[in-house]
Amino acid sequence: MGEISFSLVLNFFLYLSIPFLMAMIAKKAKLSPLIGYIGGGLVIGNLFPAMATNEGIMSFAYFGIVFLLFTLGLETNFNRIFILKKFIIIGGLLQLFLSMFLVFLFSLLFKFSLLESFLIGIALSSSSTTIVAKIIQDRGEESSFIGEITMGILIFQDIAFIPYLIIFTSITSKDISAWTIIKDTILGLIKATAIITALFYFGQKIIPKIFNKIARISRELFDLFIVVFIFFVVGLSIILKIPTLIGAMLAGVLLAQTIEHYHIFSEIRPLRNLLGVIFFVYIGSHIELRLVIPYLPSILLFTVGVIIIKALIILIIFLSLKFHSKTSFNLSMYLFQIDEDAFILMSSAYLTKVITLEKYLFVITSVLITFILTPIFINNKEKFYRSIREFIKKYILFLEKFIVYRIDSNQSPIDTLEIKNHVVICG
């Protein structure tokens, strides 16, 4: 084996040390380390552009999101989600369609064409599974009511990524007909649904038996087989033309059926955390400041508009479903941001010349800003809720009465109490 080149070692050293320092600064400022990782990527992408496009680093970044979505599938309690299906499916569908339509109209105000606005409406309608899942896991909220509702909606949106990707890949030019897009989308959906259903059915029957048998032979072989299985399912997804991110999550869901799934998670978690950091750095490294700065006021205005649209839609939907005002507000704080899949979808539109480089950077910078704001909004959601309620109580009295006597009148206070360092006594 030959010597490793110094330039390769230096690249990886800088790629990890700069985000490490930025994350330390973020932590000192009581912000999420995610902001530091993305900020570190921003520094790397603009000071060392060659490093940002290094193929090896890009591969590690992609494996980061693969492992993150695998562990998400592994931890997903589908029985609980099935119980909450009414809220997840109705809330998820309404949120997607309303966000898509209103963001489409909003994009037209920024002089995007009809086709560009249509694609932007689709790309920005979903929320970020990767960012929110990490925050929920870090906060230990996977089994909480709001955590399960949030994750259920995010998984529902991830499934919607399949038709989204089909739509984007079928639009190969600005002159393509609407009929061609509809036909390709329907055919692609039928194929994807059939393949995923077959994989899930056979996986539930066969996978637990295989894993339980290997676990009895050797722990070392079992750990190796976990990684082999993940790459097998992801590889199969590529062959069958299913989005690899869906394949990664499906692999986790299949292994969640085994009695060894807690051990699997504990073995994969350290690797997932490291590769996940590389992924967030990779996201930040793809913003070219020299091209973005001239459009920054418009980008900020566009971002604020999209955030308000998505947050209000989620708030109104869950208030309509008889949720407590605080629970509905918290859900809007978890789901206001834009999905990381928007990078993939907008890249597809840029590569087919449907949108220009400037417009592509305009949209993905907006996505990145929502990523940075997400941990800040989630960590301060209690303060925001209190401040808004105090403002309403002081200046909009009729709305305060409506909230107290109509929206929150019959709600159980358990999920809405502000409790810290509490003790639960059972007996």
Q: pLDDT tens across 247-273, in order?
A: 787 788 778 777 777 777 777 777 777
Question: What's the pLDDT tens digit per position in 147-186?
Answer: 888 888 887 887 777 777 777 767 766 666 667 777 776 7
* pLDDT band at residue 308 using 50, 70 and 90 as cut-offs: very high
Range from 9-13, 228-232, 386-390 carrying the lowest mean pLDDT: 9-13
Question: What's the pLDDT tens digit per position in 210-259?
Answer: 888 888 888 888 888 888 888 888 888 788 777 677 778 778 877 877 77
Residue 131: how many CB atoms within 10 A of its CB? 27
357 has pLDDT over 70: yes
Tell me the C-alpha distance between 296 and 366, whole Å.
Answer: 9
Question: What's the pLDDT tens digit per position in 54-104?
Answer: 677 777 777 777 887 787 777 666 666 677 777 888 888 889 999 999 999
What confidence score (pLDDT) does residue 108 get?
93
Residue of higher predicted confidence among 264 and 189: 264
Question: What per-residue string of b and e applies to 412-421 under the rule 16 or more CB within 10 Å gives b?
Answer: eeeebeeeee
Tell me the C-alpha distance between 252 and 257, whole Å.
Answer: 9
Residue type, 353: K
What confidence score (pLDDT) does residue 425 get?
78
What confidence score (pLDDT) does residue 312 get?
94
What confidence score (pLDDT) does residue 80 get?
60
Report the pLDDT averaged over residues 18-30: 87
Rounded to 5°, angle at Cα 215 from 214 and 217? 65
* Secondary structure of 351-389 in HEC code, one letter for each residue: HCCCCCHHHHHHHHHHHHHHHHHHHHHHHCHHHHHHHHH
What confidence score (pLDDT) does residue 411 get?
57
Backbone angles phi, psi at 6, to 5 degrees: -65, -35
* pLDDT band at residue 418 using 50, 70 and 90 as cut-offs: low
Report the pLDDT averaged over residues 317-321: 90
Question: What per-residue string of b and e applies to 199-238 under the rule 16 or more CB within 10 Å gives b?
Answer: beeebeeebbeebeebbeeeeeebbebbeebbeebbebbe
Cα-trace Rg, the chain = 22
* pLDDT band at residue 305 using 50, 70 and 90 as cut-offs: very high
Report the pLDDT averaged over residues 191-202: 71
* Mean pLDDT, the chain, whole residue set: 81
Report the pLDDT averaged over residues 19-41: 84
What confidence score (pLDDT) does residue 2 get?
60
Rounded to 5°, angle at Cα 136 from 130 and 139? 140
What confidence score (pLDDT) does residue 396 get?
87
Q: Look up the CATH number of domain 56-416.
A: 1.20.1530.20
- Element containing residue 184 per DSSP (H, E): helix 178-217
* pLDDT band at residue 105 using 50, 70 and 90 as cut-offs: very high
